[in-house]
Structure 1
Amino acid sequence: MVEKDDCNSSLTAIRVLRVSLVDELEGWIDSLLEVLVCQDVFNCDDCEVVLCQLGPRSRVRKVLDILECKGEGAIKIFLTIRSHRQQEAQTHSKEVNIQPQSIEYNKVKQKHKDVLRRRSENMLLYNTRHGEKILFSKHYVNLLLVDGHQGLETRRHEVLTFGQKRLSMQHKSEIHKKIAPAELFSSPNRDRPVRKVLVNGVAGIGKTILVQKMLYDFGRDKGHVSFDFIIHMTFRDLNLIEKPTNFRELILRKYRHLAKELDSILANDNKLLIILDGFDEFRHYRSCDVDIFVTEPDDDAEVVEIVGSLIQGELLPNASVIVTSRPAAFSHIPVGCIDRFVLITGFSLTEVQDFFLRYFQDSALADQMFAVVSANELMLTLCYIPAFCCIVCCILNESKDLFGEKPKTMTDIYVQYLVALICSHTQSRAETSLQVQKEGGTQKLSDVVLKLGRLAFHKLMEQQTLFYSSDQDLAALEGCSLVSTFLDKTLAQEPGCTDEVYSFAHLTVQEFFAAVYCAVTDHPLPDTLQPTVCPTESTTNGHLDLFNRFLSGILSERNANLLSRQLGLCYHKEKAGTYRRSIIRELTALCDSGAHILNHLHCLFEQQDPALAIAVQPKMLRVNVSDETLSQMDYNAIKYFLNLTKGKISELDLTGTGVSCEALRDIQPLLFRCENLWLGENNLDMDTVQVVAEVLQVSDSLTHLGIGWSNIGDDELLTLTHAIRIKKSLEELWMEGNRVSPRGLLSLNDLTPYPLKKVVAIWNDLNDKEPESWCSQESITVTFTDDEETWEAWGEWVFRRCKVSSNDKLLMVLHKVCNISVHCLETKWARTFYKQLSQLIKHRIESCTEDDICKKLKKFENILNL
């Protein structure tokens, strides 16, 4: 009886422990099979059956299945083997914990720090002359790091959206705790350890400089003391590896001095920091969410599988990992395994001044140059981006002044940048400037500029920022010393060979050269300004927006003359005329249709020709700049156009643009001319509402106002109601999806049906079952009516907005629109609307990579499918 109970308990044990045994033994399966064979528990046939299984976990399961068939004796031996292994593991763990690090380990540790310090002690600024050394310690300027990240959908050029983002972060600097580089792995909430950190930021914002700061501090024992080793890898280097490799080889190709102690380093992975810099430059960045994992440093695999395994914690799970990336590639990172998101927001005004002082190395000169930039709003705004700040300093340093009139546009700045650097280059050559001109040097320089432009243009159209020595357009520049002025070169090593990788000093520099090439050669103008009926990823991410603005600015007469006079680059007058006519034609059509117009307004602004704006004569002046977080540069372009037009503005659509009180106050004179003003999907606080109220009190034009989804409550509505009573010109008020209660809505009773013919207040804090109890006016709509045609068109508009919204914004809308009752579904259009919405939610869930967002979306999917 005892033997039977003992037998049953052993069999029960492996059945109860089955799941944990699979987790415990998957990394030990090969050794386990050898022991079982030695103990005569398994034979060769058993081993062959096990080894036919795919993957270590499946093999463990097969071992357990076979053991059950072999009976109690085999199971007891297995459990004894397992017990001995556990004891050995515990003993080894204690030895590791109490055994001091070897002398050799500490020697390698110090040598590694020395190597990192030596490699990072010099800073490579844009346009640094060959051989010039700039000490990192003397030129590093603090970057502003905060918790958070930009949305997964980046629809515009990163540099162009940056202005408003940066201002928002500066205003919230007291709320957002600034993060020091040494604090990246300290848990903000202290609820779980931070192992995987994603550092996000636009091009030129300082991601690589931040990495250099970390390596430099670590090398001097000034930071990151919790780590014994930091392994730094760039995706530029990883791009050159085309054959299967392993993580050990990836380390040794750059850090050969770690070879002797690498086993110990990898065994103590909790003391290891791995930095993967420039994810957006990885040629396989769209494929890193792998499902084929590498679990051992010696396992050979494709580079993308090794990187994906590191990020997702399958390889060296206890190691800390930092990934840096631009927002454009953010959505392709498996963010479910990221413990902390950090956003680099560039410089504050203090840091801009500090950068000027360090760059010019003379306080009086730095103050003088900063005063020049401060007087130019455009230049100062862009100086919050470190790379651009360096470019501006370069212009001022090389020219000691600005060529001609002060720059008003982005193109003006970059033309001066090009001229300043080329003039500096020619003056630094052995020949005198006079001799260069006699030998046709100007023409030679123009040829080089066009070759650079050809390279920039072709690669921009292919959305490439890295160029390899095998590229024909790059080979055409061989032997030209001017190339190093605008192209950065890095060396990427493969076993047995070294390849050179080039990129323009900054993404915007590539876009500028591409525009120069397109403007001054016979290459046809790209049809990139035309609105697209079915936008694709390449047409909605705005990657050609700045190229188009540069192209417009270069085709303007003033910049064309400067380029011709200074560099011998002559533009085609016929091409310029064609371009100007197309701008007029397209702007007119867009104003008539109410389609999105912002980048066209920027292209018009770059021309700086009032005659162009005056020539735009639409039947209806409709300006739609919705769904863009507007920066000061954007507002300047809008004001430039509308100030040159006359009469009423039929429609100004600022929906979802992040408007603030200051922004509305800046464009308030334009608001007085508006007939239809849409301010929905913005957070309208009382100060902002007060600006709108002032417009309502004065304007004879404003008849339709939209403030839906703007977070207004009763107090804000009362302010607007008081203003409407004064002028009595507003006819329709759309304020759906807000916090208005019956108390606030009652304040509109005496204004309906005159002057307010329609008030739409659905999806507010109202009870739609008995609206008669608190409102008797038919003009006030709190639920859907039988006006099928009106509501169907409105539903289509709401659904279009949902489709282009980020997941965060979509959830905000769903919170309102999914608060439905049976009354909402009595009409055909409403049933269609919610069916479409349900399908959209399902699609978003399928592509969602964030668990928290996914759960919230599923909640709303369930509500709509009840």
Structure 2
Amino acid sequence: WSVFKLSFLHRDPRARIYVHQACQRIRPCHLLSPEGTSGRPPKRVKVKGIAGIGKSVAVQRLVYEWAIGKSMREFTCVFDLRFRELNLIEAPLSLLELLGERFRYLKPILCDLFSSPGSLLFILDGLDEFRFPLDWDGPGKNIDVDSKVPVSELMVALIKGSFLPEASVILTTRPSTVAPKHFFQRCCVVLGFEEDQVKEYTSKFYKDSEVAEKVYDYILNNDNLFVLSFIPLYCYIICTAMVEFFSSGTQDDGDSKSLELNPPRTVSEVYFCYLFTAVKHHALRGSADRSTPRSEVLSLAKQQLTNLGKMAYENLLQKKIMFDRADLEKYGVTPADVQSTFLCHILQPLKEETVEMFSFFHLTVQEHLAAIYCAINLFSQEDIIQALDFWCFGIRPPSSTAAPLQNTDLNMDKLESLQMFTRFFMGMLRARLAGHLDGLILSPMEQGDGIPATLGLWFQDQFKSRKLENQTALNLLHCLMEFHMKEATSIAAPEIKKLNLFKMKLSVVDCAAMHYVLQFSPHKLQELNLVTDFTSNCQIDCSSPVRLTITCIMKMNKWTAKNNVGLMFFYSLTV
């Protein structure tokens, strides 16, 4: 089982895949290139990456290059299937029916195509968005192209290779979603931008080269923004949010001073800055100008953002990310004004008709709006603790008057799908405590001054009393990072004696969260377990921010590169 690292440049075909052992660079079209030892191409490939890193864009580029005859010409047909669209399928169906509905122009020749399955490629994009349970360990069924089975069984059989083993499959997913590695002959990790690519993206984003240079310098001189900019979606959002402050002829001293004193530090703050900019300059065009206070802008958009946030949250619990007109009407959402800024209009083939559907333009936007809705509708410390118990560990709250806690219909198998949302919630809770959500708030927060200490004790208890899975532990570190309040982190961090991130493939943002929390611990970690797949290779991004982060952690704990007593970390690093 070979492991690759994939990075790509947005809107640029010069994507790269890094082999851990040799740092060999190959193009994304070589995801299915023959193995060096066996000489056989892998039939099942998994592409993993955190939210916004560019998994979907990478495989879309792959399809494009195949379509123009530039690469992968060994394939007669490529089927691009997205799990968010597969969520709409309720009744059992066969693969022939599925593909006949999705690709109607191919329906007459599908049987001919399946006569040579080795020439077919299936791209299955966004497993983390799939709402149906997946039984990886269940007994395999004898499935053929005519067998009618639930779509979840069809996907599992296709991924495992028990169905159409001769065909090739590329699967994309977030790291938090389980897809057992033994089904794959190759696994890739999307890393995102390198430093020079951040600069190139910034220069292409703005028409004015002077503005582009100012924004890039600003990102470069703010460590937190610099780390976030390695994620392509975050880089786009940062650039969009910075337009207001750096566009030629619009910047004033007040804007500059405000940005210098209060730069966005977390993913939540970057997204909120983007949301505010989008609402102010697009959704409320003509109703608000540059001088309109934030609270007034949010007040103007309050009802629309509340309705949109409620729809985002209640459907996130169900892993529902595509909506029809009836869904929008139920929540009082109209695809215009504020809502049109965040919703995409989709014409989806379904059975014998084309159905009008809507979705948020990225899953993280749905997660962020859901977090805002919860942050403005939880009014007490008890509500917040019950909500975190529910979202993080599936502990259903007792009866509550808080709107987000009245709908607790959640599949416990899907808790990992709420991890990004919980991080956004912590960031938006901090924004509420700081007064940044004024204009949206329905009622004042009870005992707001005591919330940081209460949350610090809650996090302390999780690290002390629970045997945390590595992904859950990492998510709690991210939550503390997003909350970004010294009082809470200072209470929780000393309880972290051991940190087990065994077999985790850490991104720059993961390392930043780890560094942020551990700096508040007064003692040396007993164990930092970053051991990878029993090899001598570290599966974390070794770009300079990560190298610096690990160096800082080692220095804080007085470790050296040769000290493996407290540091189970197989990576040669000079401190």
Indicate the TM-score class for this superposition, using the shorter chain for normalisation: 0.7 to 0.9
Q: Quick one: which amino acid aligns to residue 291 of structure 1?
A: G
2:525 to 632, 652, 667: 652
1:517 CA drift (Å): 1.8
Q: Quick one: which amino acid aligns to residue 34 of structure 2?
A: S
Structure 2 Cα separation of the partners of residues 478 and 518 of structure 1: 21
- Write the deviation string for residues 240-266 of structure 1: whole angstroms up to 9, x where unpaired: 223343333323323333345444333
Taking every aligned residue pair, what percent have the same amino acid on both sides? 25
- C-alpha spacing 1:631/1:336, structure 2 compared with 1 (3 Å): closer
1:419 CA drift (Å): 1.0
How many residue pairs match? The answer is 507
1:280 CA drift (Å): 2.8
1:637 CA drift (Å): 3.1
- C-alpha spacing 1:394/1:406, structure 2 compared with 1 (3 Å): same
Partner of 1:235: 83
1:213 CA drift (Å): 0.6
Q: Is the 8 A contact 2:122 2:169 kept in 1?
A: yes
Structure 2 Cα separation of the partners of residues 314 and 621 of structure 1: 48
Partner of 1:632: 512
- C-alpha spacing 1:257/1:634, structure 2 compared with 1 (3 Å): same
Structure 1 Cα separation of the partners of residues 305 and 150 of structure 2: 39
- C-alpha spacing 1:246/1:330, structure 2 compared with 1 (3 Å): same
SS at match of 1:323: strand
Question: Which stretches in structure 1 are left out of the alignment for 5+ residues?
Answer: 1-135, 148-171, 643-648, 673-678, 693-705, 717-866
- C-alpha spacing 1:545/1:199, structure 2 compared with 1 (3 Å): closer
Partner of 1:292: 141
1:445 CA drift (Å): 0.6
Q: Quick one: which amino acid aligns to residue 456 of structure 1?
A: A
Partner of 2:279: 422
Aligned pairs for 1:369-384 (under 5 A) are: 369-384=215-230
- Write the deviation string for residues 46-105 of structure 1: whole angstroms up to 9, x where unpaired: xxxxxxxxxxxxxxxxxxxxxxxxxxxxxxxxxxxxxxxxxxxxxxxxxxxxxxxxxxxx
1:410 CA drift (Å): 3.3
Partner of 2:451: 579
Structure 1 Cα separation of the partners of residues 511 and 219 of structure 2: 18
- Write the deviation string for residues 764-789 of structure 1: whole angstroms up to 9, x where unpaired: xxxxxxxxxxxxxxxxxxxxxxxxxx
Partner of 1:208: 56
State the TM-score, normalizing by the size of structure 2: 0.73
1:184 to 16, 19, 31: 31
SS at match of 1:184: helix
SS at match of 2:334: coil
Partner of 1:447: 303
- 1:685 correspondence with 2:567: no
Structure 2 Cα separation of the partners of residues 207 and 215 of structure 1: 13
Q: Is the 8 A contact 2:75 2:120 kept in 1?
A: yes
- C-alpha spacing 1:374/1:185, structure 2 compared with 1 (3 Å): same
Q: Is the 8 A contact 2:283 2:341 kept in 1?
A: no
- C-alpha spacing 1:318/1:585, structure 2 compared with 1 (3 Å): closer
Structure 2 Cα separation of the partners of residues 324 and 533 of structure 1: 24
Q: CA RMSD in A?
A: 4.4
- Write the deviation string for residues 263-321 of structure 1: whole angstroms up to 9, x where unpaired: 433323333222222233233351366622322x3444443344344334454443322
Q: Quick one: which amino acid aligns to residue 424 of structure 1?
A: H
Partner of 2:264: 407
- 1:397 correspondence with 2:243: yes
State the TM-score, normalizing by the size of structure 1: 0.51
Q: Is the 8 A contact 2:456 2:488 kept in 1?
A: yes
Aligned pairs for 1:834-845 (under 5 A) are: none
- C-alpha spacing 1:267/1:359, structure 2 compared with 1 (3 Å): same
Question: Which stretches in structure 2 are left out of the alignment for 5+ residues?
Answer: 1-7, 396-410, 532-537, 539-545
Aligned pairs for 1:699-718 (under 5 A) are: 706-707=565-566
1:666 to 532, 535, 552: 552
- 1:388 correspondence with 2:274: no
Structure number with greater CO (CA < 8 Å, separation at least 6) is 2
Structure 2 Cα separation of the partners of residues 412 and 533 of structure 1: 21
More helix by share: 1
2:365 to 504, 509, 512: 509
Q: Quick one: which amino acid aligns to residue 393 of structure 1?
A: C
Q: Quick one: which amino acid aligns to residue 436 of structure 2?
A: L
SS at match of 2:373: helix
SS at match of 2:529: coil
Query: In terms of Rg, which structure is larger?
Result: 1
SS at match of 2:62: helix
SS at match of 1:329: coil
Q: Quick one: which amino acid aligns to residue 624 of structure 1?
A: K
Q: Quick one: which amino acid aligns to residue 273 of structure 1?
A: L
Partner of 1:468: 323
- C-alpha spacing 1:178/1:463, structure 2 compared with 1 (3 Å): farther
SS at match of 2:114: helix
- C-alpha spacing 1:299/1:391, structure 2 compared with 1 (3 Å): same
- 1:279 correspondence with 2:121: no
SS at match of 1:187: coil
Structure 2 Cα separation of the partners of residues 531 and 305 of structure 1: 29
1:563 to 431, 437, 456: 437
Structure 2 Cα separation of the partners of residues 409 and 141 of structure 1: 30
- 1:525 correspondence with 2:410: no
Structure 1 Cα separation of the partners of residues 32 and 158 of structure 2: 17
Structure 2 Cα separation of the partners of residues 428 and 326 of structure 1: 36
Q: Is the 8 A contact 1:465 1:507 kept in 2?
A: no
- 1:491 correspondence with 2:377: no
